[in-house]
Structure 1
């Protein structure tokens, strides 16, 4: 596999840095509720940029890394959409005014990108030294997939984690927001606003999201450059997606099943790779299982596209079916 040239990687980080600053730190800082047109334009722009970027990788490094990028980007994007369910619950739980929700998401996504970058560096270092960690990654992804099928992740209300509960005990937090401010004064006393708690809730929640998204992406490519860029392109435009989908998120009923298929597939793929590369005393007489087939990159991309696409189409069909039933019921009641 050809490696992407250093100049291309540096140029990529510069361009992504510009995208990041403009999308999150400039546009995202302006308190407003994005219109549907604005959301569609932003999302469409970043999707097209991701497709073009994959084409550039194909040109500079070949088809295999390009397909790995597309596979990773689609997986991370799908997981990000699923994570929006939790963001909606957090915003509702803390009664964040809608005009400031875009700003909150901007800060949350910034924190997410920094944390994921750290996880990727650590993950790459671990994988390079200990290939047996794929057994753990694979088992965890299969466990997560089973949880999605069973519906274990479908919490109807957000539960504060230990970090936030501990913070409430040691600092004074006001009951009301003061615009975008983190600190406010009431009766001559300085308080932290609920905005601090919301930032922490979004940031610490994304840490837990990374525990399944990072192993998943490493199951598709071992190149830290592709892993990181897949995450960046998945996070850019996420705040506009939040407002565009809005109330429709809870109607994507089959998305968790589609994600379960993807995560389960990647988990099995990781275990197969681990069997192929590691010697275990209780398997094959202590020799690597070289007979285990290697799953081609194009097949991974095909499984991801079919699983997520089928889940989205099935969700839309069910939503339309429910709307038809509701309309028919309303007509009967009207008579």
Structure 2
């Protein structure tokens, strides 16, 4: 019998990459990079972050970005959700400290609210829900591009000393590790763009492997600093509850807000999925630059939120697709009998 490939939402809604990340965290807990191995791991993670943002720059098509500007209302709506509404909700959660969240967990939650939106999963869910895929591509790309500059600036403004301090050295690190590689990728895209496009699969594995290296270095430093003694099971459950409320609020705001703004159904779907999600791929490298040795605890809320948004959005995408499916045509019944009427 031929095997049937199930659609994405029908599968077990657990991201395999999250399992790989958790495995990396476990490896760092059991065999952390300490002593002479610590600077080697840090140097490798720094190089991995630079390479990641170089690839991001090489992949972003300038023509697609310029074409997408024609749908500026949609993109401004997504950017406002990502970099205004999310941070406002994060600041409002400050009242949960210390009763619900510890200060380090709140710092991670606020950082989660500052990172850009996703690209790949927003596109996938928008396509599955029969929304405006082109708008989702441009919205995710714009969010990632703006986030390279805006996320560190917002972190400097809102996190302050909780972000490990933000001084001239921090600015230099951000420019050298994030912005310069990205611009280099954009400048070289003319020559390397076709190669990057043809080898998207293998380079995607390099992407994910680089992020795993960043996670290993960050959690190794966290183990050496003893940050995990600050987290209890009760606090983790409380964090999950807070993040569930945060996701529900953003999904509601993007859904009803886009309807009130007059967007059509396809555009509303793109706004819901691009405006309510956060990028793990962009957030993890940024956290390693901004938080240093404290990055392990700072990225924990982002990792949990990433898995939660995938599970919830998979269900929503399936529901949107079902609503868009045309009703099955009625089967014609037998016509009226032909013959003389009864007298």
With normalisation by structure 2, the TM-score equals 0.29
Higher relative CO (Cα under 8 Å, sequence separation at least 6) belongs to: 2
With normalisation by structure 1, the TM-score equals 0.29
